[in-house]
Amino acid sequence: MNFNPLFAQEAAAPPAGETPGLTGATGDVAAGAKGATQVPFIMRPEVMIVIMVIMMAVMFMNSRKRNKELQARRAQMKAGSKITTTSGLVGRIVSIKDNEDEVVIKCEDTRLRILKGTIANVIDFSFKETATTEKKA
């Protein structure tokens, strides 16, 4: 017999003169007799399996959606886009080639060659060069 203190219910004491587990004068075994405990609905194995399947389906759909969005953002990358990598680097794309798996980025004063798969997020697609300052003569 399993004992779960969260869902345990105390059995009512039988009235004086009756044998526990028997009902009245007929001697039929009561529905709540020893060994026939009722399991709460939420703790039934079928319900637990259904809940787990629903949770797994939701998690699977969310990860597919996130991957699709990331692939779309990676496809829109161009020179000048601001990105973050999986290792935490933040920089701007200097050059990108469609037929290669490498991207050249610039972080502060350093240029790095990284793989496209290490790009975690594309932050800014619209990069505008700062206005060039004109020299006064």
Sequence-distant (≥ 6) Cβ neighbours of residue 112 within 8 angstroms: 89, 91, 104, 105, 106
Quick one: which of 125, 32, 120 has its CA closest to 81? 125
Tell me which residue has tokens 């610039």: 106
Per-residue pLDDT of the chain (137 residues; tens, 9 = 90+): 555 655 555 556 666 665 555 454 444 444 445 556 787 888 888 999 999 999 999 999 999 998 898 888 888 888 889 999 999 999 999 998 888 889 999 998 999 999 988 998 888 766 554 433 334 44
Domain segments of the chain: what residues? Answer: 77-124
The CATH code of domain 77-124 reads: 2.30.30.100
Please give the Cα distance from 128 to 59 (Å, whole number).
38
Q: What are phi and psi of 66, to 5 degrees?
A: -65, -40
